[in-house]
Amino acid sequence: MKPLERNFTAFVNYFLRILFFLILLGSIIIAIGVLVRLSKTEVTVLFLCALLLLAVSMGAAYFVYRYLKYERNYTAAIAVIIGVSLILRVCWILFSDVKPFSDFSLIYDSGARFADGEYWVFKGTSYIARFPHLTMLTIYSGIFQKVFTNALLGIKLVNTVLSVISVYIIYLIGGELYNNKSEGIWCAFAASLFPPFILYNSVVCSENIAMPFFLGSIYIFILVVNGKRNLTWLFFSGILLSLGNLFRMVAYVVAIAYIMYLAIYWQKKKLIKSCAIILMAFFIPLYITNLLLMSSGITEYPLWKGREPSITSVLKGTNIDTLGMWNEEDSKVAERYDYNYGAVETAAKEIIKARLTDTPFYKLLAFYAMKFAAQWSSGDFSAVYWSTGRIEILGTAASFSTLVFFYAQILFIIIILFALRGLFNRRQYMENKVINLFYIIFCGYGLFYLITEQQPRYGYIVSWIFIILMFTYTKRCKELVHEDKF
């Protein structure tokens, strides 16, 4: 590695050790928080059930291990994993009959209005007009309601297919990243059992649609930087990322990560051309889609700039009393100024400035540390709540949702522990440069959600990154075994 590459890599790695430790600590505290509210009998039952689920998962993992050790038929292995993934997801969407609620109810109902030709839902001070990044999801749900009798089931089935596709792409990414199909199989296996990937299939949320596009873009990008595809393929990577961004408009973080990776780790003589290709491919679909929607009279505002300025999300993110989450006080600022864009923006900036300057530094530091941990420490990324509509997860009585949440939390603790240990695998992140792309992406999202409104669900779009990074440690374990250091 060159000095810039080495120094940047070391800095990011040491910084992530702190962040991942915070996530691990937060995850453990949340798991304990579930238990302290229950009776001894309920804790015992919860532990036994969670251990049973973990035992089943470990048994399946052992089966995969034995199969890969003696058969090495990767095609058959991934086919079985895909099949199991499909079965688990179909069973869940049939079991969970929750209807859209909260924000998702507004989006789904707006989709019904769109299906009836009522475009006012995208105009004025309506919810979608204020937050136009939800436009494509609204149109998407509206099309389903127009075409299908049981639109919700149709959406959930498509979610399931997209989720299974994501599992397969994770297999491809893992195999390419670690230069070993066996590692790809393990990544896919973990993704197939990862609770959020199963539970969110019953939720009408944009992440389900966007995720395979994000992953597909990253896979193509890796192929290019590994020299297995020419520079032209960056265009397809950018297109896929842009399509995903239409549904979940946080892909800017990945695009910036691409440019940073190319600038630091790749061929400098191709930097300008490669960055231009990515940016052009990323912005063309966005601008064309926006032009079509506005010229046809469907929408009134650009997809990236609604009636309410985006800084109101930053405003909510600075509210110490609510740990940066949604709150009624900050959400009413726009209404107070009659949705006047300039007035709302000015007022929000003044409140943010006052909060950051009037609060003691130590209190701000503690606030942002807790906010970061709260954002990333929920092992289900709020999937249990959004997929069941149950709010008693942290209640005083055990329930099925409590069990699923606790199991997801324990599993996530294991994943984070492995990912944290992988950060100490110097050989991996120094020799395998592409690993650092994932570290940069996570740092980007970590910073983004540190600044804006905090919700565990927001991290779902990039939750796959923990699955991929956990194998930085298992790969090191295999190296030590081969070196007879165990």
213 to 167, 192, 223, 251, 410: CA distances (angstroms): 12, 18, 15, 10, 29
**Domain regions of the chain by residue span:** 3-307+360-478
Whether the CB-CB separation of 418 and 237 falls below 8 Å is answered with no
The answer to whether 375 touches 19, Cβ cutoff 8 Å, is no
User: Residue 101 gets which letter from DSSP?
Assistant: -
**Do 380 and 196 meet the contact criterion of CB atoms below 8 Å apart?**
yes
User: What is the chain's length?
Assistant: 486
Determine the Cα–Cα distance for residues 153 and 94; give it in Å rounded to an integer. Answer: 9
DSSP secondary structure of 170-206:
HHHHHHHHTT-HHHHHHHHHHHHH-HHHHHGGGS--H
Is the Cβ–Cβ distance between 242 and 235 less than 8 Å? Answer: no
Which pLDDT does position 481 carry in this prediction? Answer: 42
What is the C-alpha to C-alpha distance for residues 321 and 349, in angstroms, rounded to an integer? 18
Per-residue confidence (pLDDT) for residue 478, from 0 to 100: 54
Please give the backbone phi and psi of residue 150, each rounded to the nearest 5 degrees, phi first: -105, 80
Q: How many CB atoms lie within 10 A of CB 404?
A: 24
Q: What is the pTM of this model?
A: 0.92
DSSP assignment of 259-313: HHHHHHHS-GGGHHHHHHHHHHHHHHHHHHHHHHHHHTTS-SS-TT--SS-THHH
Quick one: 177 exposed, middle or buried, by C-beta within 10 A (0-12, 13-18, 19+)? buried
The CA distances from residue 269 to 272, 273, 279, in Å, are 8, 8, 17
pLDDT in tens, the chain (486 residues): 678 888 899 899 999 999 999 999 999 999 998 888 777 887 888 888 888 888 888 888 888 888 777 777 888 889 999 999 999 999 999 988 888 888 899 999 999 999 999 999 999 999 999 999 999 999 999 999 999 989 999 999 999 999 999 999 999 999 999 998 899 999 999 999 999 999 999 999 999 999 999 999 999 999 999 999 999 999 999 999 999 999 999 999 999 999 999 999 987 788 899 999 999 999 999 999 999 999 999 999 999 999 999 999 999 999 999 999 999 999 999 999 999 999 999 999 999 999 999 999 999 999 999 999 999 999 999 999 998 875 544 444 447 788 888 999 999 999 999 999 999 988 777 788 999 999 999 999 999 999 999 999 999 999 999 999 999 887 555 554 444 443
pLDDT for res 58: 86
CA distances from 226 to 262, 265, 266, 384, 399 (A): 12, 11, 10, 38, 48
One-letter amino acid at 28 equals I
Radius of gyration over every alpha carbon of the chain, rounded to an integer in angstroms: 23
Chain centre distance of CA 436: 18
Q: What is the pLDDT of residue 480?
A: 46
pLDDT of residue 67: 79
* Burial state string for 74-107 with b = 16 or more CB within 10 A and e = fewer than 16: beebbebbbebbbebbbebbeebebebeeebebb
